[in-house]
Amino acid sequence: MTRFSANLGFLWTELSLPDAIRAAKAAGFDAVECHWPYDTPPDDVNAALTETGLAMLGLNTRRGDVAAGENGLSALPGREAEARAAIDEAVAYAVAIGCGRIHVMAGFATGPAARLAFVDNLRHACRAAAPHGITILIEPLNRYDAPGYFLTNSHQARAIIEDVGETNLKLMFDCYHLQLMEGDLTHRLADTLDIIGHIQFAGVPARGRPDEGEVAYAHVFRHLAALGYDAPLGAEYKPGGPTEPTLGWMRSLT
């Protein structure tokens, strides 16, 4: 049976993070994940996780100067101190709430110096996270939503994972982003299964509910089950209003 994780960066955003966790439990999700939880005390998150019995699967490193348009720091040459401070903060928060994955955001950059910075910062992240059993994730983003983002496809991600050479570095396979950049999700999932650390999904091309758009997610979910992938899949879509009325896909796609 397919299991789902509610991404609380997009779902129930009108609620506090602890109350969003409770709403996800009431809606029937098996786990939760988030983007940037740092304004919420870890004790409050822990209380909601304990009450609901849900696990927090993942969180992101800070983006940097959001007002200036930044979307990650770890591939920005000359920003290593800030990038590593963001990584260390994410590790500490993840440890405090029992979260097993951290998405290290690359940022807007290009070229060999950016790649070197990203690899070096990822080694730092992996080594900081490993004693706590935490997996570090990298996620390709599509060129429409995030033009100029350093990491854009699964082939680039594999090469970086191999260069970093740490066993706790994995791919965040976001079906929405990779459908827009590469397509052929069925084969792409099979080809990258060995490096996948988490899978997310949303409708394509609007990033809305997954039962709308060009991707047949019922087929994708069956394909993942056939591949033996049974971890919760992250529902990271924009509901365009209240979350509850959009959740019919949890029945229709499984």
Cβ-based neighbour number of residue 225 at 10 Å: 13
Q: Mutual orientation of helices 42-52 and 17-27 as an angle, nearest 10°?
A: 10
Question: Phi and psi for 199 in degrees, rounded to 5?
Answer: -125, 135
Which CA distances in Å does 147 have to 132, 150, 220?
34, 9, 27
Which residue of the set 33, 89, 236, 244 is catalytic? Answer: 236
Which residue of the set 51, 80, 82, 139 is catalytic? Answer: 139
HEC secondary structure over 167-201: CCEEEEEEHHHHHHHCCCHHHHHHHHHHHEEEEEE
105 with 71: CB under 8 angstroms?
yes
Place of tokens 């997610």: 217
93 with 99: CB under 8 angstroms?
yes
Asked about 244 being catalytic, the answer comes back as no
d(CA 5, CA 58): 10
Asked about 236 being catalytic, the answer comes back as yes
d(CA 171, CA 179): 15
d(CA 110, CA 101): 25
Q: Which residues are identified as catalytic?
A: 139, 236
